[in-house]
Amino acid sequence: MSSRPRAFVTGIGVVCAGAKDVAELRSLLSAPRRRFAPPTLFPCTGTSAGLPAAEIGGLPTGLSTDSDLPRTHQLALLAAREAVGGGPTPDAIIVGTTTGGILRTEAGLKAGSISPDDYRFHGLDTVALCLAHALGVHGPVMTISTACSSAAVALSVGQALLRSGLARRILVGGADSLCRLAFHGFRSLQLLAPDGCAPLDVNRAGMTVAEGAGFLLLESAPSRLTLAVLAGTGLSCDAYHASSPHPEGAGAALAIRRALDDAGISPSDVDYINLHGTGTPDNDAAEAKAVRQIFDSPPPMSSTKGLTGHPLAAAGGIEAVIATVAIGDGLLPANTGLVALDPALHVVPVAAPTRASVKTVLSSSFGFGGNNACVVLQAPTAHATATVAGSTLALPALRVAGAACFTAAGDLAKTWDALLHGSAVVGFVPDAAFTKAVAAPFTRRLKRLPRLMLALAQTAHQISGVTQPPGLIAVGTAWGPLAETQDFLRKLFESGEQFSSPTDFIGSVHNAPAGQVALLLGATGPNLTCSAGDRSFAQALLCASLDLATGSNSALVMAAEAHEAHLSPLFEPAWQGSRASDGGAALVLRADDGSPGA
């Protein structure tokens, strides 16, 4: 059993297709009934007609004094309020999301609005800030965006914050709403199942895009309210492909192994595995291989996405709530949607809801960019609470082993020279800076933000003299790849919401540049993207500090933004009438050992 301090789950909240609270979720898991139908939130005609999604119908009104909140924010409020209940105010909030207020943004862009007021909720961090305002939270408010692993990664960061002693009561989870970008993006990749997803089925044909929110209240000490224990988490990156999983499940297996090690348990201690199980051919095959690598005799397992659909960034939060319910109710959830098991997977999922003793659950979430996250939840038994007195992890002093920066003046040396001579560095980073730093074949099809991130990473890493890939990559960006987002939606609207570029969709997720950096450097460690406006770099730096406290060899911390002519002035009104600029910076950090040469 690990001697590290535990995180105790004292509250849970959920909203998903078929369940608007935990009580309804319990009923849904006991008597599964799919609620997949074509979305009503935006037009679906022509090639998208009839394709199902998992939309939540009939949201309650009066969620906030601001009745104009976007859908993701409303979903987050529902689940967060249920998780907190009537207890004390949390010290901190960590939210995983990929959509933020983009459903509102899409409506504004389609209508041709040029009013920044119509886009004030576009930033991903507005979801967490909305929760902080509604709940009265004045401590850290963080936003993680690592595609479909976002909420699970947020749980890992929350666990680390508790272990460090920086907070004692944290609201953690994820929320995403349906939107055109996600629905039509996955459709452009031919990854939507025409009849609804069927994880692990021999005839599985893709995923079912969903929406929802799932939150857990984590505390540093047990109480009579303890529902479960977040015993361990594990993060990794495939460093293999921008959207496809490693075919042998290497990254997934690494995340599973790290979660088990962090919890101080062996594979034989796991009673149930909640699979990521999206129902796509490649994902299910890779995950099955990962499970077989770790477990000689796999425990009962299932994917619950055949019931809830795939709620993107919220998946890890909702499924952590499901794991908590499974522990409390002694229930093995069914692999809903399965008709004929794929024998090539060599795994056997739970066919129907089954009552059983469930003490330890492993839940996995994987996403674009090769981001893998696994969490271990356990029953709040005496052996699980015995380690609460373990010492907290002290954050180390950090030494800068390498640094890079790009502005309109050029690299760090040219930028510093310009500043010393009183010259402004406002404007765009010269293209020559990109081509000098990173080989053209690697960046040829990439747009501005990932090229900038790659140049920063390569330059800082080379200067540092660190020979191994960084143990962690943490990126800060307020707006993410705006050029890819703009191009995808522009083409979609120009085609009457029929067609767009799958490449732009893959590149539009906030963590896409960090995934490209992992590919460049061969970095298979944790890969995080923080998106919190002007606070994005500071949050990435905090994540690096938490990781280095556990003994990681080094961390690459970056922040960058790329101006997009149409969207940037709408999202950041301060740009209007001013000279457009972009740029970024990177640090290679190590725990300081006091030796000279930093």
The DSSP code sequence of 207-236 is B-BB-EEEEEEEESS--TT--EEEEEEEEE
Q: What does each C-alpha distance from 119 to 100, 126, 215, 425 come to in angstroms?
A: 11, 11, 26, 28
Tokens for 419?
């500043």
Q: Which two structure tokens, joined as six digits, stand for 296? A: 């000689």
| DSSP state letter for 37 | B
Residue 310 known to be catalytic: yes
Which token pair is 68?
Answer: 């104009």
Alpha-carbon torsion, ordered 398, 404, 409, 410, to 10 deg: 180
Which position among 184, 310, 461, 510 bears the catalytic label?
A: 310
Catalytic member of 44, 130, 148, 237 = 148
Tokens of 270: 């796991």
Pairing of strands 272-274, 360-367: parallel
Catalytic-role residue among 73, 184, 276, 461: 276
Residue 591: what are its φ and ψ, rounded to 5°? -65, 130
CA distance 485 to 504: 7
Q: Is 44 a catalytic residue?
A: no
Contacting residues for 478 by C-beta, under 8 A, at least 6 apart: 123, 125, 531, 532, 533, 534, 536, 561
148 is known as an active-site residue: yes
Pairing type for strands 555-561 and 583-591 reads: antiparallel
C-beta atoms surrounding 334 within 10 Å: 22
Q: What single-letter amino acid sits at 38? A: P
CA-closest candidate to residue 187, choices 206, 201, 202? 206
Spell out the residues 6+ positions from residue 307 whose beta carbon is closer than 8 angstroms to its own: 18, 28, 29, 32, 34, 333, 334, 336, 337
Q: Which of 278, 277, 259, 279 is nearest to 269 (CA)?
A: 259
Could you tell me if 466 and 401 are in contact, meaning their C-beta atoms sit under 8 angstroms apart? yes
Active site members: 148, 276, 310
